[in-house]
Amino acid sequence: FKLTTVEEFEAATERLLETGAKVGADAWQFRVKNQTPHCKFGEEGVCCRICSMGPCRITKKAPRGICGCDVHGIVGRNYLKFTAGGSATHSDHGREICHTLYESSADGCYQVKDPEKLIRIAKEWGVETEGKDIYDLAHEVAEMGLWEYGKPFGTQRFLKRAPQSQQELWEKNELAPRAIDREVSCSLHMAHMGCSSLPEALIKQSIRAGLSDGWGGSMMGTEFSDVLFGTPKPIDTEANLGVMVEENVNIVVHGHDPSLSEMVCEYADSPEMIAYAKEMGAKGITVSGVCCTSNEVAMRRGIPMAGNFLQQENVVLTGACEAIVVDVQCIFPALGPLSKCFHTKFITTSPIAQMPDSEFIRFDAKTADEKAKLIVKTAIENFKNRKPELVHIPQLKQKATVGYSVEAIIKCLDGVANSQVDEMGTVKPLLQCVTSGVLRGAVAMVGCNNPRIRPDLAHIELMKKLIANDIVIIASGCSAQAAAKAGLMDKRAKDICGDGLKRVCELADIPPVLHMGSCVDISRMMILASELAKCAGTHVSQLPVVGCAPEWMSEKAVSIGNYVIGTGIDTFLGVDPYVSGSSEIAEILTNGTREWVEAAFTVEKDIDKLGDAMIARIEEKRAALGI
């Protein structure tokens, strides 16, 4: 067993770019060059264009905008708007899932696959479950979920899952998120011309908007996806471009919402469609994924992961992709023109993400089955249009075991429990591993890829360093896929861990890097941290647990960062969130927020130093607890 290196990833990409050159394809690698150097005002966050007296940009010579706003107000407003964009996006995804749950029925397109979880949530929300039809219950809970977006009074229902101490901090500092849409609207209102320019106020609202995502929209996205499609359990899969199969019809699903990809997987696996593919000259059908849609179907069905964010163009460049089917978020508009250079069909499906040069097959909960069938058929019928001289699938892939929901982690960790002393079925055995020092702590590795950092390198190098130091990793999103591609989700990766973590991996039969799902599933991490804190009788902020997004790029990632620190977890970033132009905003984000939520950001572009800083923080927290 050998890990795959970033150099090997890059060699595969180089080879694909050669194919691209033959057909005149563009790629992000070239566009990055064209965009470098980046706009310095943008990078520092000091450009304001929220009213038409501007745009104003702050320099030494011009320290204030025309309205008199200083650099701290401008940077702070930009940061808040960035967060609101992310919170809106995750939460709207969650809303779609609520609607899908609302549409579920015994004989419709979507069923309830985890009724126990639905009943658990219903009880948590005070709904009478006794003697109720499961679909009546699903509709009632879905509607309650939808009200979380616009209710006029009160705060998010799921906040009650946090430890009391965190809830008190939120209340005391006016950070408890109200209706989700209200927090997004309120953010845009505050950042409007002539409203807030006070740094503390802007950052506080950024945290509240973030919390409305993590403990509102994202959490509903995760929980109701589990109800509809099943709560993930450990399952074997594979990762990297080598999962595509040359002889088969290759359908790649990309985006975030599992409602589409679940249906596509269902049909692609049907005898009828497989027979049709054979009729069209293929051996079968392979569905693989990119980005979080991929994580969703990998976690629940073991569908292989073709790659993460910056590999989305690569799947088309293989020349063997019959259709790349997308839903929402993180989809390069580049896929339109790129797919035109090949036989690939670029199929958009959501009114939220419409793009030029794509075929739009509108997907909705009521007609999901027929649309999914149409998509699969379209891909199959496209197989004959392949240009064999352009086909090259890099033979790189690794085995991975994925599917570590909180429920699954608890179950696996029962394997390390001493059944005489420990309570099984709780986080207690995990906590024991941490307090005894067998595990030094945990790092939540999340987020995207970003050409500013050599893609995947930061994720992989940090994980290797941390697991060697007996720190277990929980990962999601494109970070998780980087790990899987490298082989860090192969159980055999235990051999590069410290002795303590290795022992835990053996006893619990887990890999050292646990795939917790997509980006909305970072809400799972918040629940896990909360359960650990409750079990330990500490604040979340006291646990030897930190978050890390070394290659993040999207507004969603900033929203996540805000709710992770908002939950009391120090968060380490490898990319600056456009705030370096304001000493005051930078100070609040890296220190000031501790006063409100007991956690803050650290930004460090040197990967090695970033890893050292995380280990040091974990050890500091251990020392403070006396463990």
Which residues are at the interface with ligand SF4 (CB under 6 A)?
A: 48-51, 53-56, 65-67, 69, 74, 193
Measured from the CB atom, is 82 or 158 closer to ligand SF4? 82
Q: Give the DSSP H or E segment for 134.
A: helix 134-147
The span of 30-38, 366-374, 401-409, 514-522 binding Fe ion (CB under 5 A) equals: 514-522
Q: Which residue has the tokens 């940009």?
A: 57
Task: Tell me which of Fe ion, ligand SF4, none is bound by residue 477, counting a contact when its beta carbon lies within the kind-specific cut-off of 5 to 8 angstroms.
Answer: Fe ion
Task: Tell me which of Fe ion, ligand SF4, none is bound by residue 198, counting a contact when its beta carbon lies within the kind-specific cut-off of 5 to 8 angstroms.
Answer: none
In contact, 381 and 207? CB cutoff 8 Å: no
Give least dist CB 26 to Fe ion, A: 23
Residues 519 to 548: which contact Fe ion by CB under 5 A?
519
Sign of CA dihedral 232, 237, 241, 247: negative
Task: Tell me which of ligand SF4, Fe ion, none is bound by residue 417, counting a contact when its beta carbon lies within the kind-specific cut-off of 5 to 8 angstroms.
Answer: none
The span of 98-106, 242-250, 284-292, 381-389 binding Fe ion (CB under 5 A) equals: 284-292
Both tokens of 179, joined, read 């209706």
C-alpha 428, offset from chain centre: 27
Task: Tell me which of ligand SF4, Fe ion, none is bound by residue 51, counting a contact when its beta carbon lies within the kind-specific cut-off of 5 to 8 angstroms.
Answer: ligand SF4
Out of 71, 263, 264, 292, the residue judged to bind Fe ion by CB under 5 A: 292
The span of 10-18, 338-346, 411-419, 511-519 binding Fe ion (CB under 5 A) equals: 511-519
Q: Give the DSSP H or E segment for 67.
A: none
Give the C-alpha separation, 281 to 276, whole Å.
9
The span of 21-29, 35-43, 288-296, 489-497 binding Fe ion (CB under 5 A) equals: 288-296
- Mapping DSSP to helix (H, G, I), strand (E, B) and coil, where does residue 32 land? helix
Both tokens of 469, joined, read 């130091």
Task: Tell me which of ligand SF4, Fe ion, none is bound by residue 67, counting a contact when its beta carbon lies within the kind-specific cut-off of 5 to 8 angstroms.
Answer: ligand SF4
Give least dist CB 47 to ligand SF4, A: 9
Task: Tell me which of ligand SF4, Fe ion, none is bound by residue 193, counting a contact when its beta carbon lies within the kind-specific cut-off of 5 to 8 angstroms.
Answer: ligand SF4
Distances (CA, A) of 276 to 40, 52, 284, 325: 54, 57, 9, 19
Give least dist CB 352 to Fe ion, A: 15
Task: Tell me which of ligand SF4, Fe ion, none is bound by residue 505, counting a contact when its beta carbon lies within the kind-specific cut-off of 5 to 8 angstroms.
Answer: none
The span of 41-49, 237-245, 286-294, 483-491 binding Fe ion (CB under 5 A) equals: 286-294
Measured from the CB atom, is 49 or 492 closer to ligand SF4? 49
Residues 476 to 495: which contact Fe ion by CB under 5 A?
477
In contact, 81 and 187? CB cutoff 8 Å: yes
Measured from the CB atom, is 55 or 108 closer to ligand SF4? 55
Task: Tell me which of Fe ion, ligand SF4, none is bound by residue 519, counting a contact when its beta carbon lies within the kind-specific cut-off of 5 to 8 angstroms.
Answer: Fe ion
Give least dist CB 426 to ligand SF4, A: 52
Give least dist CB 196 to ligand SF4, A: 12
Measured from the CB atom, is 570 or 584 closer to ligand SF4? 584
Measured from the CB atom, is 57 or 621 closer to ligand SF4? 57
How big is the chain, counted in residues? Answer: 627
- Mapping DSSP to helix (H, G, I), strand (E, B) and coil, where does residue 290 land? strand
In contact, 564 and 535? CB cutoff 8 Å: no
Residue 214 in contact with Fe ion, rule: CB under 5 A: no
Preceding amide of 451 cis, omega within 30: no
Give the C-alpha separation, 253 to 228, whole Å.
19
Give least dist CB 576 to ligand SF4, A: 21
Name which of 448, 475, 619 is nearest 545 in CA terms. 619
Measured from the CB atom, is 202 or 575 closer to Fe ion? 575
Measured from the CB atom, is 17 or 355 closer to Fe ion? 355
Give least dist CB 303 to Fe ion, A: 16
Distances (CA, A) of 297 to 49, 300, 303: 40, 5, 6
- Mapping DSSP to helix (H, G, I), strand (E, B) and coil, where does residue 608 land? helix
Nearest-5° Cα angle at 588, 584 to 594:
160
- Mapping DSSP to helix (H, G, I), strand (E, B) and coil, where does residue 2 land? coil
Name which of 482, 491, 570, 481 is nearest 518 in CA terms. 481
- Mapping DSSP to helix (H, G, I), strand (E, B) and coil, where does residue 100 land? helix
Give the count of alpha carbons within 13 A of 510, CB side only.
31
Q: Given the rule CB under 5 A, which residues bind Fe ion?
A: 292, 477, 519
